[in-house]
Amino acid sequence: MQEITPAEVEALEGAVILDVREPHELEKARIEGALHIPLGDLVARVDEVPRDTTVYTLCHVGGRSAQATAYLESIGVDAVNISGGILAWYREGLPLTLAGSE
């Protein structure tokens, strides 16, 4: 499974980020423009995932997004796990919308 750091994916022009965290997690912190499909809904909603580009998966620390990446790869989607999840994204000081900052 391929992995990428938050800084590397944030530097990519037009990267498609798939956030597989739960809705209550998105209320705390989210990346603007990310596609949100909770991991438990991914199989049912997989048609919402683009097939014509690389999809970068994200969760809280990287475990659920690794599962999502493995599943997407198994069905032919070019998917890459974002190592460290949104926690690493935050620690690296990358753009993020936090609860109460809207």
Q: Say which residues have a Cβ less than 8 Å from residue 102's Cβ, sequence separation at least 6.
A: none
For residue 22, which of 59, 70, 47 has the smallest C-alpha distance? 59
**Size of the chain, expressed as the number of residues it contains:** 102
Structural domains of the chain, ranges and CATH numbers in brackets: 3-92 (3.40.250.10)
Residues catalogued as catalytic: 59
Q: What is the pTM of this model?
A: 0.95
Tokens coding 31: 């990346």
pLDDT in tens, 74-90: 999 999 999 999 999 99
Please state, in angstroms and rounded to a whole number, the distance separating the CA atoms of residues 31 and 45. 20
Q: How far is CA 10 from the centre of its chain?
A: 11
pLDDT in tens, 32-70: 999 999 999 999 999 999 999 999 999 999 999 999 999
Please state, in angstroms and rounded to a whole number, the distance separating the CA atoms of residues 58 and 75. 18
